[in-house]
Structure 1
Amino acid sequence: MKTVSLREAQDRLDELAQDVEQGETVTVTRDGKPVFDLVPHTERGGYDPEAGEAYLRSKGIVRKKGFIADDFDDPLPEDFLLRPLP
Structure 2
Amino acid sequence: MKRRRRTLVPGRCGHDVVLKLESVMLHTESVKRSRERSAMELAIREAKARLSELVAAARSGERVIITKHGRPAVELVRCDHGGGIDFEKLEAARRRLGIEGDRERWPPEYDDPAFSRRVLGLDIE
Alignment TM class, shorter chain as reference: 0.3 to 0.5
With CA pairs under 8 Å and 6+ residues apart, which has the higher RCO, 1 or 2?
Answer: 1
Q: Give the TM-score taking structure 1 as reference length.
A: 0.46
Instruction: Give the TM-score normalised by the residue count of structure 2.
Output: 0.36
Which structure has the larger Rg?
Answer: 2
